[in-house]
Structure 1
Amino acid sequence: MAPPPSYQHYVWASGHFLLLLSSLRYVLAFVTFKAASAWWYKASYTGALVSYAIVCNKSLGTPQPNIAYLRRAMLDENVQYLLLALFWWTSKPITITLLPYMIFSLFHALTFTRTTLISQFLPPSPPATAGGAPGPHPLAKKLQVWVKANYDPAMKIVAYTELVIFARVILGAITFRNSLLSPIIYAHFLRQRYYQSAFTREALALATKKIDAIVRKPGNPPILLNVWDKGQMVIQRWAGVTLAPNATVPEPAQTAN
């Protein structure tokens, strides 16, 4: 029998539910052209900070004032999302930045509902065989199937959304709608995502291919192609390699038991 969830597990889940519900309220108001208080935006990222802080503490332990701990922390993708959430929490609201966190929280909230809430409040299914152990409630089975079937497509959406966010903060910096620091910080975040996420690599490869096809169309000014080629060269040098990783790193699941 699995041990009962700790109080941290409930706090972690509460953060995800807060994030999911608050961001839904804020995003729905945005897409329906209605006014929404920035409180909902702050509440969304407060939920993210709570959940990611618990996971980071669980995976990395108590923060240590040494280089080894700092290096481990900077390579942890939950730490990266925690720091990014802190940056968005302190910045002027940008609605689209909520979408990746919403998607992550949806899957975590559904998994928590399946593994913890349903088992506590709904009766299990009868044993499949005489004397066997009871099975999970049918609703739990349906949630498990849905999560498994939709996880990879959702992660692809996250990867493409994060590229759109990068374009948004670049344009925002040019038009003074967000700080000049935003694209710099987000560029570093995407650099880490590239090395850690196969979905991000796939999204970036497709986006690069699409842009390259547009830039190289006959009749375009030569300077456009020159800027594009030099831009890719600068990005490759800044990334440290030719953007061709040697191994695929799977997406780890964020949990807090």
Structure 2
Amino acid sequence: MPAAASTLSDRLQALVKGPQFIWWLGHVTMLVCTSLYLPYWATFNYKAGAHWYARAFFGALVSYSVVVYKSFPNVSFTAQFAQTLFSEENVQYLLMAFFWWRSTPMLAPLIPYVIFAFFNSLNYTRTNILPALFPAPPTGTTDATHAQVAAISRKIQVWTEKNHATAMAFVAYVEVIGVMGSLVIGAITFQSSFLSPIIYANFLRFRYFFSLHTRSAFALIRARLDNLIVPPGGNAKVPPVVATVYTTVRGAITRFGQAAVQQPTAGNPRAQ
């Protein structure tokens, strides 16, 4: 039966029965709860808004659980399956969402998930919700409302395709600088666990191997720090001991990042 010939009730029932709709609801939950958390963050009232922070990441847990479930429908209790499972980036984001869900509220960890949620929910609205609400008219007929909806859909598609790469690059910088910086400062000031930067460093190591944007972010940050600190291009006011410490830390980070990471054998769909 053509989409236009079915009733609105039929189309909506078909829409909400699929796991993809639950995936979309998780993203919407992330967006709504983050917007409700922001006023608490802006007024430094973090504890009072902690429930919205937790609910935002609960939405992320729902969305990424759906993606992982669809990516790995057949569970196998073998070492190879476990290696493939935990090397998949959606699994990594699912595990980190659980970590953030139970952690002290911070703004930086929300930003990547919010950006993913925004693009994903927008695309799902374009490809699933709008056609369900405003189906194409029968062949040979015209409909002004559908024409307007189709124009909106095209604008959404053009905008998301144009801005997706820029948004993913921004996410990489937030993950490398914003999130890790927040964790390090939190550990130093005893506002978060000392284990948090270590846990997140392992996540970034996976991102470095699997994401071109993350590698670009690391490369640019290293180049700028080298130009600022390391002679002969470094600032003459920087004490030699600072340059020595920096090169030592840089070497340690490089060795850690180059530790073997087994890439997944199958290209599973990404949530972002």
Q: Which range, TM-score by smaller chain?
A: 0.7 to 0.9
Matched, 1:234 2:246: no
Question: Quick one: higher RCO (CA 8 Å, sep 6+), 1 or 2?
Answer: 2
* Conserved? CA contact 2:64–2:91, under 8 Å: yes
TM-score under structure 1 normalisation? 0.86
Letter in 1 for 2:130: I
Larger Rg: 2
**What percentage of residue pairs aligned between the two structures are identical?**
36
Aligned position for 1:162: 175
- Residues of 2 paired with 1:59 and 1:251: CA distance? 6
- Residues of 1 paired with 2:215 and 2:124: CA distance? 29
* Conserved? CA contact 2:88–2:268, under 8 Å: no
RMSD: 2.7
How many correspondences in the alignment?
245
Matched, 1:67 2:89: no
Matched, 1:217 2:235: yes
Q: What are structure 2's unaligned runs of at least 5 residues?
A: 4-10, 261-266
What secondary structure sits across from 1:159 in the alignment? helix
TM-score under structure 2 normalisation? 0.82
CA apart distance, 1:210: 1.4
Matched, 1:86 2:98: yes
Q: Which runs of 4+ in 1 moved over 6 A?
A: none
* Conserved? CA contact 1:124–1:137, under 8 Å: no
Aligned position for 1:141: 154
* Conserved? CA contact 2:33–2:52, under 8 Å: yes
Letter in 2 for 1:30: W
> For 1:24, which of 5, 10, 35 is the aligned residue?
35
- Residues of 2 paired with 1:75 and 1:81: CA distance? 11
The answer to which of 115-124 and 152-161 deviates more is 115-124
CA apart distance, 1:125: 7.6
Matched, 1:182 2:196: yes
Aligned ranges 1:8-47 → 2 under 5 Å: 8-31=19-42, 36-47=48-59
Change (3 A) 1:126 1:207: farther
* Conserved? CA contact 1:78–1:254, under 8 Å: yes
* Conserved? CA contact 2:109–2:179, under 8 Å: yes
What secondary structure sits across from 1:149 in the alignment? helix
Aligned position for 2:124: 112
- Residues of 2 paired with 1:95 and 1:160: CA distance? 14
Aligned position for 2:271: 254
> For 1:193, which of 207, 210, 214 is the aligned residue?
207
> For 1:100, which of 100, 112, 123 is the aligned residue?
112
